[in-house]
Structure 1
């Protein structure tokens, strides 16, 4: 699969949102409208859109099917939001949470709760999110050298989660010095813990 994504507008227009689900049912028309609001410039609308991403596309242990194109849209959007530092940081954090929600550990928790694996169905949302992890990583990695320290930290924190995917393990070595320099000294205890766990696991 290529790492390149279409422009965000095309992702919105070409996705069959009516055939996808969020927590409340059919994703159309709410989810695409919320995604459009991310670039509206209206702070209240942007906040509502961020809330929709976090609360309506993921609900432990579920990840809803609309999260797949939403992740592609958000990833494609990162490159267009250079002046929007706070929003970029928030979107990076959401991508990190989404990828973590389909990790091996979460798949096991899902199995323990539901009695079946979310990976059994080849068309499951868990599998589809996993399939686009290289695309997500490419978008996140482009933010790692950002001039804004908050964006940079969020990008590194997200990258650490994403490279747990076996197909992205080759990127761990390049990330290691950044984890030591940035994440290991973060003001956020969770990020320091993430850095410690990654460095120990990666050797």
Structure 2
């Protein structure tokens, strides 16, 4: 599956990317295999083949394979933050009791060193994905000193993102770092279906993607 991420066939690459999400990080879970996968992705990020496109389907963020890999690494890092650990401890599941989570936490400096080169990338989707991926990594006490340098990029780049997920992440990060998030517009209605950034054709059950009220018909679930 990991080898297929760099396949010359776009369909094969896309299927492999689906596997990253559906098998190795299903519903944000960190498995034993998630750890070596993260190491592998940091190794292949510089490969020119990661700038090749992938098939775009409903719910997929914009950008090439490299942007998707950066987003995946950021999602994995987001599951081992102090905030996640605090919630786990309240429910009797501290991250310290789960070896895969410990391993991801330990490798955060390496993950940051792999992601940082792309925060100034000329590809806007890659740049956004890299900046967003850095944010949960800077929760690590060993990496706190990077917050001051990254904060301006978070404000300048993510504040104008078309993705509400990136804008929300920017707001949360800046607030937690003690930096003003004023002027960044998050998701106005947090109870809207998460795919409202999609066009009506892509989300046919929405009466209007800008409509915060009802649906044209019941959601298909």
Task: Give TM-score scaled by structure 1 length.
Answer: 0.76
Structure-2 separation of matches of 1:149 and 1:42: 24
Matched, 1:181 2:149: no
Matched, 1:88 2:63: no
Which structure has greater helix proportion? 1
Aligned positions, number: 167
Match of 2:93 in 1: 116
| Unaligned 5+ runs, structure 1 | 1-33
Structure-2 separation of matches of 1:60 and 1:103: 16
Preserved CA contact (<8 Å) 1:61 1:106: no
Preserved CA contact (<8 Å) 1:99 1:129: yes
Compute the displacement of 1:46 (Å).
Answer: 1.1
Match of 2:39 in 1: 72
Preserved CA contact (<8 Å) 1:61 1:110: no
Of residues 135, 138, 141, the one that matches 1:160 is: 135
Structure-1 separation of matches of 2:25 and 2:33: 10
Structure-1 separation of matches of 2:129 and 2:123: 10
Could you say which structure has the greater relative contact order, defined with CA pairs below 8 angstroms and 6 or more residues apart? 1
Match of 2:22 in 1: 55
Compute the displacement of 1:39 (Å).
Answer: 0.8
Change in 2 beyond 3 A, CA 1:69/1:176: same
Larger radius of gyration: 2
Root-mean-square deviation (Å): 1.8
Q: Which deviates the most, 145-154 or 61-70?
A: 61-70
Matched, 1:103 2:81: yes
Compute the displacement of 1:117 (Å).
Answer: 2.2
Structure-1 separation of matches of 2:140 and 2:158: 19
